[in-house]
Amino acid sequence: MAHVLAKHAAIREDQARQAALVTRVVKEMGNDPDITALALAKTKLTMASFSRSQEFEADTIGVGISARASFDPYGASRFLTAMEQNAALKAGRNSIDPRSQDFLSSHPATPERVQNARAIARQFSSPENGERDHEAYLSAIDSIVYGEDPSEGFVRGRRFLHPKLGFTFQAPSGFTLDNTAQAVIGVREGGDQALRFDVVRVPAEQTLAEYLNSGWMENVDKSSTEQLSINGFPAASVTAGGDQWRFRVYALRFGSDVYRFIFASRQKTPASEQSAKETVQSFRRLTLEEIQAARPLRIKVISAQPGDSVESLSRRMAGVDHPEQRFRILNGLDANGRVKPGDRVKIIVD
């Protein structure tokens, strides 16, 4: 709401128009690379710093709105802290210290936003004042879905399932999968291999081999084109090269849709080729029993018992990586935080 009240979208649109104008003027100035680079760099910097100021302004307005509506104004800083810790964990960092992660330069680092949000909240109340309705909140979120929207499919370890569309596949050993709005992204531990799985529009009259060689990807080796059948589904594959990466691309037709596997590796090896092949060959239709059994992860609120600890409770978590760190983030516990008998805590269950 703060972004709307401050008309940030309209301002950003004006900035985009100005950037387009600068680009056009620069092109008309000639081929001086120094002038061109300087002008474009300054334009990008201006837009980045402007977006940064917008985020701080929105935080200022938003915390004020929350406080005047009788919500806890410190909720914003707690929310931003949790976001930062989750981003750090997602990036594979070992520490959940919010100071350990820097965001993209076009946005303020979350630790700065946390400090700013706390400073604004102090204008309305002290951290000790105010009713947070903690118990009512925990009761309200008990059993809600955790993670991806089930209608968009979800990740279970190295496996991706899409019950609505009726298919599944499994990533190679050592890969971590992330289901985003645009694609399923996988990265191998160490960062030397990656994969992308998405859906693309391919006319029914166009063969998959023709699609792979249609120019949407550069440096395709057309001589590597293979026509395949994978678990009864028509498919095709090609290889492509780049300065730092080597690619193996598969297109697979499943009903009226075409799905694309893009495998990238720093070096093409028999092992990387075999991993890509095994992943694509794992693509199959889900059985009716699997569709009925597939369900999203959920948050369960439980009471800590005598003898329970962060370690023992996190071992009860299902379907997530780094369970102890995730338990701490989920329950607002820092690296030294402990649970006491009677504490109501959140765990993730299948």
Distances (CA, A) of 180 to 82, 106, 147, 196, 216: 19, 21, 11, 10, 22
| CATH no. of 153-292 | 3.40.1000.10
Across the chain, mean pLDDT equals 84
Token digits of residue 183: 């694609």
Domain 296-349 has CATH 1.10.8: no
**Domain extent listing, the chain:** 2-132, 153-292, 296-349
Residues 6 or more apart from 222 whose CB is under 8 A from it?
Answer: 213, 238
CA 7 to chain centre: 27
Token pair recorded at residue 217: 């990807």
Provide the residue count of the chain.
Answer: 350
Contact assessment for residue 305 and residue 328, using Cβ atoms and an 8 Å cutoff: no
150: β partners: none
| The amino acid at 311 | E
User: What is d(CA 313, CA 305) in angstroms, rounded to the nearest whole number?
Assistant: 10
Type of residue found at 42: K
- 50: pLDDT strictly greater than 80: no
The model's pLDDT over 175-194, given as tens digits with 9 standing for 90+, comes to 988 888 889 999 988 888 99
Q: Which pLDDT value is given to residue 131? A: 62
HSE, side-chain direction, 13 A CA sphere, residue 209 = 10
Report whether 187 contacts 176 (CB < 8 A): yes
Q: Is the pLDDT of residue 97 over 50?
A: no
How many Å apart are CA 247 and CA 274, to the nearest integer? 13
Task: Note whether 255 and 247 are within 8 A (CB).
Answer: no
Alpha-carbon distance of 165 to 143, in angstroms, equals: 25
Q: Which of 125-134, 136-145, 171-180 has the lowest mean pLDDT?
A: 125-134
* pTM of the shown model: 0.66
- What pLDDT was estimated at residue 37? 54
Assign 307 a pLDDT band (cuts: 50, 70, 90).
very high
β pairing state of 297-303 and 344-349: antiparallel
